[in-house]
Structure 1
């Protein structure tokens, strides 16, 4: 094997390359591939964690929406109940005020009727008293005269009808 300079250079370059390749494969290639595989695994885990976090965030948002809707429904129910209570209280107050008003009107009418009856009784008493005074004065005047007295008795007897 007689080698010339360029052939020997190719030979030694190939030998060095093969030795270098075997050494790299044995000592460096596995750790590099292991590091790349580890990096790929960590990236995949990170992507999976991100996907899990995204799903969890989506679930939380759905839960938040559901809770918010429940809270709104509860608020609406409470507002409706409050409105109903308010309307009932107003209706009760109106009914009570109307009943009180009617009671006061009835009491006022009773008082007015009583005052009217008392006034009428007093007026009747005064009229009767005045009528008696007038009749007394007329009778005294009429009975003071003997002729007028006789004429009055005869007139009264004529007015009385016998059965």
Structure 2
């Protein structure tokens, strides 16, 4: 069993060596190691904070983008509605103008028809009057070929006319 149980001298020297190493580590290495660990912890925390902040900023930007998209859709709908209304107004105005122009053209045509009718009636009256005069002239020429008939006609006219 000697091999399994350590001797007192070995335990003493291992304890002394351990304490020296512990002292040296605490004097020279412990503070830089803890400082490095603190710095590492601080940098990780700051990276996490920055990541959270970036995440919040991304959410805010996403919300802003959604808001801008919504506003753009509303603006697009308004522009389309205005364009549709303007097109309808132009169409209605064109219909109104066409109706007015058609009505005016119909009225002008009616006036032209009335004027042509009056002109035709006047021409027919003039033609009838000319024909009547020609017929009367021919009848009178035929009736009044001899001078006795002419004298009788003049006497009849004189009798009908009363001179006061």
Which TM bucket (shorter chain)? 0.7 to 0.9
Provide TM-score, normalisation by structure 2: 0.80
For 2:72 and 2:101, how far apart are their aligned partners in 1?
43
- Deviation, 1:115, is 1.4
1:132 CA drift (Å)? 2.2
* Cross-structure match for 1:103: 104
Could you tell me the TM-score, scaled by structure 1's length?
Answer: 0.80
Q: Which moved more, 1:27-36 or 1:42-51?
A: 27-36
The alignment of Structure 1 onto Structure 2 pairs a total of residues equal to 147
Aligned twin of 1:135: 136
Q: Cα RMSD between the aligned structures?
A: 2.3
* Distance in 2 separating the partners of 1:134 and 1:86: 70
Q: In the aligned structure 2, how far is the partner of 1:38 from the partner of 1:26?
A: 19
Distance 1:109 1:23 in 2: 126
Paired with 1:67 and 1:144, the residues of 2 have a C-alpha distance of 112
Q: Say which SS state the counterpart of residue 50 (structure 1) adopts.
A: helix
- Which structure 1 residue ranges, 5 or more long, are not aligned? 155-163
Q: What is the CA-CA distance between 1:141 and the residue it aligns to? A: 3.0
